[in-house]
Amino acid sequence: MQAAKPSQNRKSKIINLKSKMLLSIETSCDDSAVALLDMEGNVITSQISSQTALHERYGGIVPEIASRKHLTTLPLLLRHVLRESSVKLTDLKGIAVTYAPGLIGSLLVGVSYAKTLSWITKAPLIPVDHLEGHLLAPFLDHKELDFPFLGLIASGGHTHLVVAKGLGEYSLLGKTMDDAAGEAYDKVAKMLGFQYPGGPIIEQLAAGCPKPSIEFTVPLKGKKNLDFSFSGLKTAVRNEALARKLYVEKKKLISFKEFSNQPDSPEKDMIRDIAASFQLTVEKTITGRVEKALNKTNLKQFVLTGGVAANRGIRKSLTKLAQKKRKQFFYPQLEHCTDNAAMIGYTALQYLKSGRIDNDGLLRLNASSKSPIGLMNVQKPD
Which CATH number do you get for residue 94? 3.30.420.40
373 found inside a domain? no
Q: Residue 360 has what pLDDT?
A: 65
238 found inside a domain? yes
Residues 306, 308, 314, 318: what is their CA dihedral angle, to the nearest 10 degrees? -10
Dihedral sign computed on CA atoms, order 123, 358, 341, 345: negative
Q: How far is CA 364 from the centre of its chain?
A: 27
- Identify whether the C-beta of residue 36 lies closer than 8 Å to the C-beta of residue 85: yes
Looking at the structure, tell me whether residues 303 and 162 fall in a common domain. Answer: yes
Looking at the structure, tell me whether residues 54 and 160 fall in a common domain. Answer: no
Looking at the structure, tell me whether residues 166 and 67 fall in a common domain. Answer: no
Q: Residue 2 has what pLDDT?
A: 34
Query: DSSP code of 303?
Result: E
Distance CA 333, CA 309 (A): 9
Q: Residue 267 has what pLDDT?
A: 95
Q: Residue 180 has what pLDDT?
A: 95
The predicted model scores a pTM of 0.91
Neighbours of 95 (CB within 10 A): 26
Looking at the structure, tell me whether residues 344 and 313 fall in a common domain. Answer: no
Distance CA 24, CA 341 (A): 6
Q: Residue 170 has what pLDDT?
A: 97
Q: Residue 208 has what pLDDT?
A: 95
3 found inside a domain? no
354 found inside a domain? yes
Q: Which residues pair with 174 in a beta bridge?
A: 161
Looking at the structure, tell me whether residues 30 and 109 fall in a common domain. Answer: yes
Looking at the structure, tell me whether residues 130 and 259 fall in a common domain. Answer: no
Looking at the structure, tell me whether residues 152 and 58 fall in a common domain. Answer: no
107 found inside a domain? yes
Range of the structural domain that residue 290 is part of: 147-331
294 found inside a domain? yes
Q: Residue 59 has what pLDDT?
A: 74
**Torsion angles phi and psi, residue 59, rounded to 5:** 75, 15
Q: In which element (H, E) is residue 45 found?
A: strand 43-49
Number of domains present in the structure of the chain: 2
Looking at the structure, tell me whether residues 132 and 241 fall in a common domain. Answer: no
Looking at the structure, tell me whether residues 322 and 358 fall in a common domain. Answer: no
Cβ-Cβ contacts under 8 Å for 241 (sequence gap 6 or more): 191, 192, 247, 274
Looking at the structure, tell me whether residues 321 and 349 fall in a common domain. Answer: no
Number of residues that this document lists for the chain: 382
51 found inside a domain? yes
Looking at the structure, tell me whether residues 327 and 345 fall in a common domain. Answer: no
Looking at the structure, tell me whether residues 202 and 323 fall in a common domain. Answer: yes
3-state secondary structure of 340: coil
187 found inside a domain? yes
pLDDT tens, per residue, the chain with 382 residues: 333 333 344 333 334 444 589 999 999 999 999 999 999 999 999 999 988 888 877 777 888 988 999 999 999 999 999 999 999 999 999 999 999 999 999 999 999 999 999 999 999 999 999 999 999 999 999 999 999 999 999 999 899 999 999 999 999 999 999 999 999 999 999 999 999 899 999 999 999 999 999 999 999 988 889 999 999 999 999 999 999 999 887 677 899 999 999 999 999 999 999 999 999 999 999 999 999 999 999 999 999 999 999 999 999 999 999 999 999 999 999 999 999 999 999 999 999 998 877 666 677 889 999 999 989 999 876 6
- Identify whether the C-beta of residue 155 lies closer than 8 Å to the C-beta of residue 181: yes
First to last CA, the chain: 32
